[in-house]
């Protein structure tokens, strides 16, 4: 696309591209009704504005390289090299007392296999207010001991036991995240060239260090660097890593595993994973029109992104960068991915506080 194209020509070319690309749908005339019924919708006015922005970026950075506009480091792996962009900003993850969270979990009699809500209510009427009260029960003693061991040991098994009865969206399930130190969490977001079976080109992670979040973005400067991005990402993980994502259980993690399989690489990733889409649906579905990340940002965090590239349009912008050998289109993509990670961490803090507030420790 020529950077000197007038507004109407830019808009028309982008609309034609959008009509041919079914990963998203341009909603002509900004029809709100069609927007609500469409998958991956983009308003026509937004799309046209982004077309003008893209033309401007191509013109502004036509003689630049990636290091000229995105400060980072080229890193080497066994699979080749990729580009690492790092960013740090203040953010604190609250620390909750392990004893308080365990006390809350001990009061949930349904964590004992074979006890449902009605049986739990009956047992409370009989004076059993705590899982540990049932170690003296002839019928429940063995299972009560098992539940006590699970609660005290924590880890994936505790998460599974809480989610088994309450579901992944329940506050008690999220509350188990308070048993891990803040530095264990890895906030994850990826950018790809479309839906499954297409390459990914950017993996963004956020790690808590003291009172800050340190963001690492592993960028493939071309598609052939995808394997290096995957390997560099794998090297950042530890046995204690706990993933936090937004729809990552259904998309990000399976996508990464599929790309690792494509390169015949080890697909083992940390098992603990808190997906905030589940939390958003639990707390916000009655108050918001949808639970998209941008919607949550606006209503919970007070963030309204200006000229942000929608995730569904990211592949098109990356392809434009590759075709023109111009880093301009990458700038909004990097900012988009970085903001996703920051918002993810802030929403995690928000929902953790809600979950903790739902249960009195006293």
Condensed to tens digits (0 to 9), the pLDDT of residues 291-332 reads 889 889 999 999 988 878 888 888 889 999 999 999 999 999
Most confident of 14-18, 48-52, 79-83, 355-359: 79-83
Span 72-94+181-357 CATH architecture: 2-Layer Sandwich (3.30)
Banded model confidence at residue 45, pLDDT cuts 50, 70, 90: confident
C-alpha distances in Å from residue 179, one per residue of 42, 68, 95, 175, 254: 40, 43, 9, 8, 26
Predicted confidence at residue 164, as pLDDT, reads 86
Q: Which percentage of the chain shows pLDDT scores above 70?
A: 87
H or E segment to which residue 73 belongs: strand 73-77
Predicted confidence at residue 18, as pLDDT, reads 42
Banded model confidence at residue 358, pLDDT cuts 50, 70, 90: confident
Predicted confidence at residue 38, as pLDDT, reads 53
- Please state, rounded to an integer, the average pLDDT across all residues of the chain: 87
Predicted confidence at residue 335, as pLDDT, reads 95
Q: Where are the alpha helices (DSSP H) in the chain?
A: 7-20, 32-37, 44-60, 66-69, 98-106, 117-125, 141-153, 155-166, 171-175, 226-236, 252-262, 276-284, 293-296, 314-324, 330-357
Helix (H, G, I), strand (E, B) or coil at 340: helix
Banded model confidence at residue 226, pLDDT cuts 50, 70, 90: very high
Angle at CA of residue 90, ends 88 and 92, nearest 5°: 120
Instruction: Tell me which residue of 153, 166, 156 sits closest to 102, measured CA to CA.
Output: 153
Question: Poorest-confidence range of 11-20, 95-104, 304-313?
Answer: 11-20
Mean per-residue pLDDT for 127-138? 92
**What is the C-alpha end-to-end distance of the chain, expressed in Å?**
64
Where do the structural domains in the chain lie, given as residue ranges?
7-51, 72-94+181-357, 98-166
């Amino acid at each position: 696309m020529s950077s000197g194209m007038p507004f109407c020509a830019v808009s028309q070319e982008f609309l034609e591209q959008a009509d041919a690309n079914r990963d998203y749908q341009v909603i002509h005339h900004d029809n709100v009704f069609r927007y609500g019924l469409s998958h991956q919708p983009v308003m026509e006015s937004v799309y046209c504005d982004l077309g003008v922005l893209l033309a401007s970026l191509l013109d502004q950075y036509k003689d630049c390289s990636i290091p000229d506009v995105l400060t980072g480091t080229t890193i080497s792996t066994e699979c080749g090299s990729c580009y690492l962009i790092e960013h740090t900003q203040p953010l604190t993850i609250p620390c909750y007392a392990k004893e308080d969270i365990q006390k809350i979990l001990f009061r949930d009699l349904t964590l004992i296999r074979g006890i449902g809500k009605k049986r739990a209510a009956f047992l409370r009427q009989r004076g059993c207010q705590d899982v540990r009260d049932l170690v003296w029960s002839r019928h429940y003693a063995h299972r009560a001991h098992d539940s006590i061991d699970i609660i005290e040991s924590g880890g994936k098994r505790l998460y599974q036991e809480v989610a088994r009865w309450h579901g992944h969206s329940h506050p008690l399930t999220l509350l188990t995240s308070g048993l891990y130190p803040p530095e264990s969490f890895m906030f994850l977001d990826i950018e790809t060239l479309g839906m499954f079976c297409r390459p990914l080109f950017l993996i963004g992670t956020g790690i808590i260090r003291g009172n800050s979040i340190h963001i690492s973005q592993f960028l493939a400067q071309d598609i052939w660097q995808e394997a290096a991005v995957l390997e560099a990402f794998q090297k950042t993980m530890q046995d204690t890593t706990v993933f936090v994502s937004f729809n990552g259980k259904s998309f990000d993690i399976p996508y990464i595993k599929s790309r690792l399989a494509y390169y015949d690489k080890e697909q083992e990733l940390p098992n603990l994973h808190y997906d905030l889409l589940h939390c958003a649906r639990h707390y916000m579905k009655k108050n918001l029109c949808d639970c998209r990340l941008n919607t949550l940002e606006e209503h919970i965090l007070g963030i309204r992104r200006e000229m942000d590239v929608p995730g569904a349009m990211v592949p098109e912008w990356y392809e434009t960068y590759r075709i023109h050998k111009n880093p301009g289109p990458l700038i909004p993509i990097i900012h988009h991915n970085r903001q996703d990670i920051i918002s993810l961490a802030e929403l995690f803090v928000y929902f953790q506080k809600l979950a903790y507030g739902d249960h009195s420790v006293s």
